[in-house]
């Protein structure tokens, strides 16, 4: 768990709890269903003595804000506040402890105040038209791709998952790319045996990632003229994404991916589970 300040949401756990609960509401689940699913999905937080108070603080604060505070959640949060729960984060800090105590006092006052009326939560919209498993050919066409000799050529990419885009009400799609440039639009049989392209930089023995995500920000940014559907196929088992990945890109910057074909040419790596790989090639 990472923390970068003494405010309630200046840590990974609180942000995860808030976003998880809100995303269930955006999926149009009832207040009780969203509550129960959050408890089930983040049960590891509840069981952890260090993260448990942060879980109840964030859930109570979020539920209060949208007018859905459940009595047992309020009780749990207030109980942890009375114990100073979460103070362990600031054991080595000279000033963070006082800031955290102020945050807890502010939360206590809020929770003991009458919550607002239940707010309507807008439905989360999936703007990605692809089905999971769909494979598209994308043609590089900008000056960026000219730097790496990819201009006019095609890459094949496949949608492998979709997930919440936490700062928006819609979804993003997770994709992987096949490590081969094609002079013409490839056929499904052309992808047989082709390895997946790491979307990261080579670095000896470092665990890197081969997945990326795409989101349709605006319809005008969707490069329909350069995308061709070529089929749907099962997703290799080693590309199921569970961890949070470092790299992220939008359609408007997709031609920059052409550099990875250049970077990984003739380089070796071992594919591991969960959509990551270990670079094993040693530079001479």
Q: Are residues 154 and 269 in the same domain?
A: yes
From 77, 96, 111, the end of a domain falls on 111
Q: Are residues 75 and 159 in the same domain?
A: no
Q: Is residue 267 one of the residues assigned to a domain?
A: yes
Q: Is residue 263 one of the residues assigned to a domain?
A: yes
From 111, 143, 158, the end of a domain falls on 111
Q: Is residue 251 one of the residues assigned to a domain?
A: yes
Note the pLDDT of residue 247: 38
Q: Are residues 177 and 50 in the same domain?
A: no
Q: How many domains does the chain have?
A: 2
Note the pLDDT of residue 243: 33
Q: Are residues 100 and 186 in the same domain?
A: no
CA 185, 189, 193, 198 dihedral sign is: positive
Note the pLDDT of residue 92: 60
Q: Is residue 126 one of the residues assigned to a domain?
A: no
Note the pLDDT of residue 228: 93
Note the pLDDT of residue 253: 81
Q: Are residues 57 and 190 in the same domain?
A: no
Note the pLDDT of residue 246: 33
- Per the structure, the complete domain to which residue 87 belongs is given by 12-111
Q: Are residues 102 and 235 in the same domain?
A: no
Note the pLDDT of residue 238: 42
Q: Are residues 256 and 209 in the same domain?
A: yes
User: How far, in Å, CA of 23 to CA of 168, rounded?
Assistant: 10
Q: Are residues 255 and 143 in the same domain?
A: yes
DSSP-derived pairing of the beta strands 171-177 and 276-279: unpaired
Note the pLDDT of residue 204: 58
User: How far, in Å, CA of 244 to CA of 275, rounded?
Assistant: 11
Please report where in the chains the tokens 């089905």 appear, as a residue. 131
- Confidence (pTM): 0.54
pLDDT in tens, the chain (284 residues): 556 778 898 888 998 899 899 989 988 899 999 999 999 999 999 999 889 999 999 999 999 999 999 999 999 999 999 998 888 776 665 555 788 889 999 999 999 999 999 999 887 665 667 888 899 999 999 999 999 999 999 999 988 877 766 555 566 778 888 999 999 999 999 998 888 888 878 875 555 666 677 766 556 677 888 999 999 988 754 443 333 333 345 677 889 899 999 888 888 776 655 455 666 654 43
224: left (phi over 0), alpha (psi -120 to 50) or beta: alpha
CA 143, 146, 147, 148 dihedral sign is: positive
From 79, 111, 143, the end of a domain falls on 111
Q: Is residue 119 one of the residues assigned to a domain?
A: no
Q: Are residues 138 and 261 in the same domain?
A: yes
Count other C-beta atoms under 10 Å from residue 134's C-beta: 19
Count other C-beta atoms under 10 Å from residue 199's C-beta: 24
Q: Is residue 118 one of the residues assigned to a domain?
A: no
Q: Are residues 138 and 260 in the same domain?
A: yes
Q: Are residues 106 and 157 in the same domain?
A: no
Q: Are residues 107 and 154 in the same domain?
A: no
User: How far, in Å, CA of 226 to CA of 6, rounded?
Assistant: 47
């Amino acid at each position: 768990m990472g923390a970068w300040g003494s405010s309630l949401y200046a840590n990974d756990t609180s942000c995860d709890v808030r976003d998880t609960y809100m995303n269930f509401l955006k999926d149009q689940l009832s207040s009780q269903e969203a509550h129960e699913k959050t408890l089930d999905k983040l049960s590891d937080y509840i069981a952890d003595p260090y993260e448990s108070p942060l879980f109840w603080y964030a859930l109570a604060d979020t539920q209060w804000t949208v007018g859905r505070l459940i009595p047992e959640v309020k009780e749990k949060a207030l109980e942890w506040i009375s114990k100073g729960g979460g103070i362990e984060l600031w054991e080595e800090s000279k000033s963070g402890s006082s800031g955290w105590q102020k945050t807890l006092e502010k939360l206590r006052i809020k929770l003991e105040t009458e919550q607002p009326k239940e707010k309507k939560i807008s439905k989360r919209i999936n703007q990605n038209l692809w089905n999971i498993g769909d494979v598209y050919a994308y043609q590089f066409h900008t000056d960026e791709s000219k730097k790496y000799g990819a201009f006019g050529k095609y890459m094949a990419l496949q949608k492998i998952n979709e997930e919440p885009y936490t700062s928006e009400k819609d979804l993003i799609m997770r994709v992987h790319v096949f490590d081969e440039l094609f002079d013409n639009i490839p056929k499904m049989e052309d992808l047989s045996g082709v390895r997946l392209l790491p979307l990261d930089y080579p670095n000896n023995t470092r665990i890197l990632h081969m997945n990326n995500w795409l989101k349709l920000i605006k319809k005008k940014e969707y490069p329909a003229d350069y995308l061709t559907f070529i089929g749907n196929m099962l997703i290799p088992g080693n590309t199921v994404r569970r961890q949070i990945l470092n790299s992220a890109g939008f359609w408007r910057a997709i031609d920059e991916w052409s550099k990875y074909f250049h970077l990984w040419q003739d380089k070796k790596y071992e594919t591991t589970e969960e959509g990551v790989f270990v670079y094993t090639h040693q530079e001479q």
